[in-house]
């Protein structure tokens, strides 16, 4: 299971000359501020949208998703295989800083289904150990002609997709919502779905009102999915 940690989130500073207050802070407050700024609706006179939670719900309900681009969150993803980051970086509205290709591999991440089967586990261990040995031998040979960083970068070509990696991912709330809506469904492979749901749990801590409409449920096979009735783009 990938480890996901919130490392940064939006700070909101309300302008002194705007006659408005809210019951939220950070990115959620900024989303509301941006939405209200469009129509200068500072008085919160509508009882249906006079809290941050109800106002953000209204924005989602009417599809005013641009306001959600103002709040952002950064997550630190570790203990995941490089195969997952191959899928993650297809979401091009995120900003990424990933473990360099010039570093030595420190571990491999074994899929749960393989780890639970002794025969498959043995095959996995044999294959990954062979790859790591080939990597080490290539590095030693290449270092005779190129520097160490270059040697490691070239030698990584023989490493498996299970090689462990780490990555910092920053995105605005709209991008995070899109990622979760796309990747937390039952039609997505379990590993990527687990990552999306782990991200959702951290994002809900950072900005509850911006992600509270997503509901996590358990399928008959024991795996989890997340969905929201307010998702209008996928």
Q: How far is CA 71 from the centre of its chain?
A: 15
C-alpha closest to that of 161 among 233, 215, 221, 110: 110
Model pLDDT, residue 234: 58
Average pLDDT estimate for 145-165:
93
pLDDT in tens, 34-59: 999 999 999 999 999 999 999 999 99
Reply yes or no on whether the pLDDT at 232 is more than 80.
no
Please provide the average confidence, as pLDDT, over all residues in the chain.
Answer: 95
Q: Residue 187: pLDDT band by 50, 70, 90 thresholds?
A: very high
172 annotated to a ligand binding site: yes
174 annotated to a ligand binding site: yes
Reply yes or no on whether the pLDDT at 135 is more than 90.
yes
> What pTM value is reported for the model?
0.92
88 annotated to a ligand binding site: yes
- Domain with residues 3-74+167-227, CATH architecture: 2-Layer Sandwich (3.30)
153 annotated to a ligand binding site: no
The SS3 assignment for 225 reads: strand
How many angstroms separate the Cα of 72 from the Cα of each of 33, 180, 183, 193?
14, 15, 19, 21
According to CATH, where is 3.30.1360.170 located in the chain? Answer: 3-74+167-227
Active site residues: 183
């Amino acid at each position: 299971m990938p480890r996901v940690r919130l490392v940064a989130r939006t700070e909101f500073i309300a302008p002194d000359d705007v006659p408005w207050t809210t019951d939220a802070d950070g990115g959620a407050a900024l989303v509301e501020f941006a939405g209200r700024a469009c129509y200068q609706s500072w008085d919160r006179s509508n009882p249906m949208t006079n809290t941050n939670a109800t106002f953000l719900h209204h924005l989602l309900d009417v599809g005013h998703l641009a306001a959600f681009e103002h709040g952002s969150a950064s997550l630190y993803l570790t203990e995941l295989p490089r195969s997952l980051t191959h899928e993650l970086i297809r979401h091009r509205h995120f900003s990424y800083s990933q473990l360099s290709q010039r570093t030595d591999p420190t571990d491999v991440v074994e899929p749960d289904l393989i780890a639970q089967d002794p025969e498959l586990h043995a095959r996995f261990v044999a294959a990954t150990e062979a790859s790591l040995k080939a990597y080490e031998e290539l590095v030693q040979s290449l270092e005779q002609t190129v520097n160490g960083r270059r040697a490691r970068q070239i030698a990584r070509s023989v490493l498996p997709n299970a090689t462990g990696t780490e990555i910092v991912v920053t995105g605005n709330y709209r991008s995070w919502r899109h990622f979760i809506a796309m990747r937390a469904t039952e039609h997505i492979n379990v590993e990527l779905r687990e990552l999306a749901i782990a991200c959702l749990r951290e994002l809900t801590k950072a900005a509850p009102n911006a992600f509270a409409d997503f509901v996590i449920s358990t399928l008959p096979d024991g795996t989890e999915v997340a969905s929201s009735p307010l998702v209008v783009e996928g």
